[in-house]
Amino acid sequence: MYLHYSRDVSCGQAAYGLTSVLLVPLNRLLAGRTQNIADLHNRLLAGRTQNIADLHNRLYAAIHRLLAGRTQPVLALWDVNYARLRKATSSRSSAFEIRINSMEVQIIY
């Protein structure tokens, strides 16, 4: 499975797209198989996050922070080069692909 972005793609748009294509790996995170996004997982278990839109917004925010480099990568899933991604998303002429294979994300320039 892969997601292709080209032209005029902002970091926010990339984060929005990633929330759509990372469902299986994110489900693994939310299922407690890693300690990442632990607060969201606990909120889901406690019934404080019942709204799909709220869940989507929380995932969007978490991925946007990862793409912006404000959160340290914890798995191969998040092991991407943030500087190159920001450069690709800020250039009108650049294009890149995000490929997902199991728990690995590849960004191809």
Long-range contacts made by residues 55-62, C-beta under 8 angstroms, separation at least 24? 56/19, 59/19, 59/26, 60/15, 60/16, 60/19, 62/37
66 has pLDDT over 60: yes
pLDDT in tens, 6-47: 434 455 555 555 555 555 555 665 565 555 555 655 655 555
69 has pLDDT over 50: yes
pLDDT in tens, 91-109: 544 455 555 554 444 555 4
* DSSP summary character for residue 33: S
State the chain's maximal CA–CA distance in angstroms: 46
3 has pLDDT over 50: no
